[in-house]
């Protein structure tokens, strides 16, 4: 018992962060699965597809403005957590960069939307989504993760997400209410952002101020390779909704995005584990050899892949049941999307471990960026080629192939690195 207590005490911060991230990702998993059945039945494939299309565009703005800080800034904070001056400099520079990028991208969206009928016709919905972009800037998950104090931001997100879920059921009553989905989502993000900033000032004693030019340049350089990598990862994971929307119609977008959302929700179950060990291993790897670090990665992957495989089998076997329970008869074809995408539960999980946790922490940022670009381009080419003939199945095949390509490239790099260091 004393040995058990000493182990718990030694890894207490890891256990706390894991539980906090589990709650946070549990919300990300459970709440969408609560609102999804309701929304798809009220909105139908057409309007749900329109909401999904707009959501993906907004997510790209958020992604680009995030600039990879969820990893680059997290890693810096974890290594400099005792230096308040440096932490403040990082914080102010990251927030300044995010605001600047978000402002530019939002203006471009509305200028571009004037000439694109699909966007112009739904301009009210895009206007309602601005709160998502603003709110996300002021939810510095990277800061809390770097300090390994995720329980605090979990509280802020919990409050906002529960309120968002309740508002969906209160205000979305008929199909014509679909623009309000983005407005309600904006409210949730803004509330979470306000609560997060209060926690930042109260807990970490960070004083916001104007960022210095040298700090801005430093953060742009530090985050560049991670930014390109995460941008390309999300390009091939989310671009398919845009491609389907451009080549087909909102109903097909609705079928594909609903099936994809279920798979992504199931994937998110495992995020707490990887998000917890990322800052921990980032710090640990700095004190040990690369050979030992890679051994740790492969050891984790052996046990992790078994769990992922079991979940994959369940999802593949019960795809039709999931669709009946969560989506209803209008979305029955979504089970095909789920079955094709289900291997991504295994491959995508290992890609995060080998690529983000492994390569980025082992000086492989440039190579990982290159691998992601190759994989992302392969998805776009395959999706554009197959969607006209196979519709949403073609898009699903494109994502699956690109994830597998990334897996092979990352695994090969780690093996070569391990042999070179031996």
Q: What is the pLDDT of residues 292-343, one digit of tens each?
A: 778 888 888 888 899 899 999 999 999 999 899 888 888 989 999 999 999 9
The whole-number average pLDDT for the span 384-397 is 92
Q: For position 199, what pLDDT does the model report?
A: 87
pLDDT digits (tens, 9 = 90+) for 250-281: 899 999 988 988 888 787 777 666 666 666 66
Predicted confidence band at 386 (pLDDT cuts at 50, 70, 90)?
Answer: very high
- Tokens 């210095």 found at: 212
The whole-number average pLDDT for the span 63-80 is 85
The whole-number average pLDDT for the span 222-232 is 78
Q: Where are the domains of the chain?
A: 2-421
pLDDT digits (tens, 9 = 90+) for 171-223: 999 999 999 999 999 998 999 899 889 888 888 888 888 999 999 999 998 88
Name the 3-class secondary structure at 245: helix
Of 76-85, 144-153, 360-369, where does mean pLDDT reach its minimum? 144-153
The DSSP string of 333-393 is THHHHHHHHTTHHHHHHHHIIIIIIIIGGGT-HHHHHHHHHHHHHHHHHHHHHHHHHHTHH
Q: Report the distance separating Cα 201 and Cα 193, nearest Å.
A: 12
Q: For position 7, what pLDDT does the model report?
A: 45
pTM of the model: 0.73
- CA 295 and chain centroid, separation: 27
The whole-number average pLDDT for the span 40-49 is 91
Predicted confidence band at 415 (pLDDT cuts at 50, 70, 90)?
Answer: confident
Q: For position 135, what pLDDT does the model report?
A: 93
Q: For position 316, what pLDDT does the model report?
A: 95
- Indicate the average pLDDT of the chain: 84
Higher pLDDT: 92 or 291? It is 92
pLDDT digits (tens, 9 = 90+) for 245-258: 888 888 999 999 88
Q: Report the distance separating Cα 177 and Cα 248, nearest Å.
A: 23
How deeply is 375 buried, as exposed, middle or buried, from its count of CB atoms within 10 A (0-12, 13-18, 19+)? Answer: buried
């Amino acid at each position: 018992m004393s040995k058990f207590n000493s182990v718990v005490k030694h890894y207490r911060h890891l256990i706390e962060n894991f539980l906090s991230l589990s709650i946070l990702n549990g919300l990300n998993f459970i709440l969408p699965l609560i609102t999804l059945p309701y929304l798809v039945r009220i909105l139908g494939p057409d309007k749900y597809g329109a909401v999904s299309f707009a959501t993906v565009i907004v997510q790209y703005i958020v992604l680009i403005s995030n600039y990879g800080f969820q990893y680059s800034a997290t890693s810096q904070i974890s290594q400099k957590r005792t230096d308040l001056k440096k932490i403040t400099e990082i914080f102010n520079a990251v927030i300044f960069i995010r605001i600047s990028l978000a402002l530019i991208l939002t203006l471009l969206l509305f200028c571009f939307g004037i000439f694109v009928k699909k966007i112009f016709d739904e301009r009210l919905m895009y206007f309602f989504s601005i709160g998502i972009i603003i709110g996300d800037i002021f939810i510095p998950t990277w800061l809390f993760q770097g300090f390994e104090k995720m329980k605090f931001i979990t509280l802020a997100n919990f409050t906002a997400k529960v309120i968002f879920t309740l508002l969906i059921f209160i205000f979305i009553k008929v199909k014509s209410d679909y623009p309000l989905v983005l407005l309600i989502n904006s409210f949730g993000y803004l509330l979470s952002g306000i609560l997060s900033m209060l926690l930042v000032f109260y807990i970490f004693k960070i004083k916001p101020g104007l960022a210095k030019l040298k700090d801005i340049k430093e953060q742009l350089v530090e985050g560049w390779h991670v930014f390109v990598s995460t941008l390309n990862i999300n390009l091939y994971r989310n671009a398919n909704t845009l491609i389907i929307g451009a080549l087909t119609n909102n109903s097909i977008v609705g079928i594909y995005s609903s099936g994809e959302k279920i798979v992504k929700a199931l994937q998110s179950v495992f995020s707490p584990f990887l998000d917890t060990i990322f800052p921990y291993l980032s710090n640990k790897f700095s004190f040990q050899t690369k050979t030992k670090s890679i051994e740790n990665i492969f050891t984790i992957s052996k046990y992790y892949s078994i769990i992922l495989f079991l979940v994959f089998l369940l999802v593949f076997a019960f795809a039709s049941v999931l669709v009946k329970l969560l989506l209803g008869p209008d979305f029955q074809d979504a089970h095909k999307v789920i079955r094709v995408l289900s291997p991504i539960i295994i491959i995508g999980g290992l890609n995060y471990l080998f690529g983000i946790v492994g390569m980025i922490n082992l000086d492989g940022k440039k190579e990982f960026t290159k691998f992601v670009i190759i994989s992302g381009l392969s998805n776009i080419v395959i999706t554009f080629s197959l969607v006209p003939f196979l519709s949403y199945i073609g898009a699903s095949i494109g994502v699956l192939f690109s994830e597998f390509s990334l897996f092979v490239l990352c695994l090969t790099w780690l093996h070569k690195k391990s042999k070179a260091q031996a």
